[in-house]
Amino acid sequence: MTHIQLAFSYPLMSSKTSSAGGAVNSAPRWDLSDLYQSPQDSKIEDDFARLEKEAQSFEKRWKGQLKVSSASDLVQSLKDYEAIEEGLGKIASYAQLLFAAHTTDAEIGRFAQGVQEKVTSLSAHLLFFALELNRLDDEFINSLYKDAELAKWEPFIRDLRVFKPYQLNDDVERVLLETSVTGRQAWVRLFDETMAAMTAKIGDDDLPLGEVFNRLTESDRHKRHEAAQAISASLADQQKLLVMITNNLAKDKATMDKLRGYPRSVSSRNRANMVEDEVVDALVEAVDSSFSKLSHRYYSLKAKWLGLDKLEHWDRNAPLPKSDDKIMSWEEGKKIVRKAYSDFDPEMGSYAGKFLDNPWIDAAAVPGKSSGAFAHPVVPSVHPYLLMNYHGRARDVMTLAHEMGHGIHQILAAQSQGYLRSSTPLTLAETASVFGEMLTFQSLLEQEKSPERKRHLIASKVEDMLNTVVRQVAFYQFEVKLHQERQKGEVSAEHIGQLWREVQERSLGPAFNFTSDYDLYWSYIPHFIHSPFYVYAYAFGDCLVNALYGVYRERPEGFAEKYKNMLAAGGTLRHKELLAPFGLDAGDPAFWHKGLDVISSLIDQLEADPA
């Protein structure tokens, strides 16, 4: 299947819709003409026709021949395969990006579906290649690595062969590929279109669901409560469909895992992330054991600041009293992010400038557009694109910094490694994005002179870190429970809500009183649908960045070059090799606590503040 990777921002719709007029509304829409001019562009059909011929020729030339290939033959086959995959990736990327920006447009939906079907059909000619590479004898393939050109491809082949024990026979793999467009992918599309079209009623107005989520950051508690009730009603209206989608996708995953022989529901995700099960277990255990000193402690402080005995779920993202509600224009947000990256390293600032000065970002908050944010690497011959919904809040600036990190990472990796070797496991894909957020936060903190505003900045950063670490690990724990229950049979809406409530109460702590309507809130989170078990990658990335930033603070000399080398490695190195130059080891359980201690120390500062 074509090699496509989207790096998502954490799934929160928590910025506030602004009435600041043109200042925020000037946020740009992207221009996809660097890919194709429109869905009617004749180059799309021309490229499909060319790629169809190339794929058929590739299959005829190489099928059944890899086991008797020389090193030079294998290199040529890999180059041919990469060229076809990159061509398919360009078309698929265009369709995906167009659909993300216009999710409720029926014509674009049909176009995107048509592209996906053609890509899947054409990819059937390429399917044999990875399967046959995996069947090559270890001794044979290792002997070929003596060739310098083939040795460059060793990381790609190595990562393919991670899945060797779980590979099915060729006929079964082909059926699974060709039926995916009417199976899993169809359910995902249904979810996306449903969520993009959903509205919630505030007074007499039916507003886009994302806009109402943004109202959960209102300073007026009554307005937050009103928004929460509207969201709950909207989710309740769609609950039957959302429960059906979730159950079908969980069952589909269980069936695939059983066919392939994966021992746990999360095992396939860990293999794709090139991370050991025990490393993920150590991360989750470390975060879980820190709930009381992190989220429980912070939200108890927040309840006190807000003058409440208990927080309701609609209070979680409430601004602190006397917090600056300033709306920042798109130009102001750009300036902040550009400065943060440029101050860290001029070359990184230059890359940030490419995104900010060209139409590579879709930031306008408009109806019918995908909620949340992501970065899409597209293909090395073009450039990544970023999508977000900019409302002018500090958190939106952080989201821009986050996606910018992804975009720069993708450029550096693609330039160095090409299409197939640039893809980074999700655990490491979040490193550059979270590091970019940290740079921006520290830049803002250093510029701020007011002690009160500094406290608000720290509190906001703590909340973002809790969302990235505690909340995402809780999401992961919810997914584990849900997939375990689905193996026993279809899971009711009530039982899913119960599982959700259990992990929320445990992770967020006694400061909260959760009303029963919150049992529905699992159903809007797209990662559960798009990428099961993706979410722990955020906690992995945040803790890793906290440790990495500590190294930068202690030993800044030469750090930027080592950091850029790490990003440029793409998917060619594993986490142990990437972190070794910084003296870090994610396999050490103490590593995770080092990252969590950074969050705890910020909460210490807030506790020590008499305000």
φ, ψ of residue 522 in degrees (nearest 5)? -65, -25
- Percent of the chain beyond pLDDT 90? 77
CA 561 to chain CA centroid, Å, is 25
Confirm whether 48 is domain-assigned.
Answer: yes
Confidence of residue 13 (pLDDT cuts 50, 70, 90): very low
Distance CA 115, CA 380 (A): 20
Confirm whether 225 is domain-assigned.
Answer: no
Asked whether the predicted pLDDT for residue 461 surpasses 70, the reply is yes
Q: What is the pLDDT of residue 611?
A: 57
Q: What is the pLDDT of residue 610?
A: 57
Q: What is the mean pLDDT of residues 268-278?
A: 89
CA 17 to chain CA centroid, Å, is 23
Do you know the residue count of the chain? 611
Residue 11, H or E segment? none
Distance CA 14, CA 466 (A): 14
**Are the CB atoms for 210 and 371 separated by under 8 Å?**
yes
Asked whether the predicted pLDDT for residue 551 surpasses 60, the reply is yes
Q: What is the mean pLDDT of residues 479-487?
A: 97
CA 55 to chain CA centroid, Å, is 31
Asked whether the predicted pLDDT for residue 397 surpasses 60, the reply is yes
Confirm whether 307 is domain-assigned.
Answer: no
Q: What is the pLDDT of residue 11?
A: 34
CA distances from 33 to 47, 205, 366 (A): 15, 36, 20
Distance CA 132, CA 164 (A): 10
Structural domains counted in the chain: 1
Confidence of residue 406 (pLDDT cuts 50, 70, 90): very high
Select from 453, 343, 451, 319 the least CA-distant residue to 401.
Answer: 343
Spell out the residues 6+ positions from residue 377 whose beta carbon is closer than 8 angstroms to its own. 5, 7, 384, 410, 413, 414, 422, 423
φ, ψ of residue 331 in degrees (nearest 5)? -65, -40
Select from 272, 275, 237, 229 the least CA-distant residue to 253.
Answer: 272
Asked whether the predicted pLDDT for residue 457 surpasses 80, the reply is yes
Question: Model confidence over 251-265: pLDDT tens digits?
Answer: 999 999 999 999 999
- Among 12-16, 132-136, 373-377, the range scoring the smallest mean pLDDT is 12-16
* Domain that includes residue 175, residue range: 31-187
Question: Model confidence over 34-84: pLDDT tens digits?
Answer: 999 999 999 999 999 999 999 999 999 999 999 999 999 999 999 999 999
Strands 374-376 and 7-8: antiparallel
Asked whether the predicted pLDDT for residue 295 surpasses 70, the reply is yes
Confirm whether 4 is domain-assigned.
Answer: no
21: left (phi over 0), alpha (psi -120 to 50) or beta: left
Confirm whether 508 is domain-assigned.
Answer: no
Distance CA 444, CA 215 (A): 25
Distance CA 126, CA 85 (A): 9
Asked whether the predicted pLDDT for residue 94 surpasses 80, the reply is yes
What's the whole-number average pLDDT of the chain?
91
Q: What is the mean pLDDT of residues 4-29?
A: 50
Q: What is the pLDDT of residue 24?
A: 59
Confirm whether 374 is domain-assigned.
Answer: no
Select from 402, 395, 403, 323 the least CA-distant residue to 362.
Answer: 403
448: left (phi over 0), alpha (psi -120 to 50) or beta: beta
Q: What is the dihedral of CA 504, 510, 511, 513, to 10 degrees?
A: 60
Confirm whether 381 is domain-assigned.
Answer: no
Spell out the residues 6+ positions from residue 246 whose beta carbon is closer than 8 angstroms to its own. 482, 491, 496, 523, 528, 529
Q: Which letter does DSSP use for residue 81 in this model?
A: H
Distance CA 477, CA 393 (A): 30
Distance CA 564, CA 156 (A): 21
Question: Model confidence over 309-318: pLDDT tens digits?
Answer: 999 999 999 9
Rounded to 10°, the helix 589-608/297-306 angle is: 20
Confirm whether 170 is domain-assigned.
Answer: yes
Strands 512-513 and 311-312: parallel
Q: Which letter does DSSP use for residue 29 in this model?
A: P
Residue in the block written with tokens 């021992």: 263
Question: Model confidence over 495-550: pLDDT tens digits?
Answer: 999 999 999 999 999 999 999 999 999 999 999 999 999 999 889 989 999 999 98
Domain CATH code at residue 63: 1.20.140.70
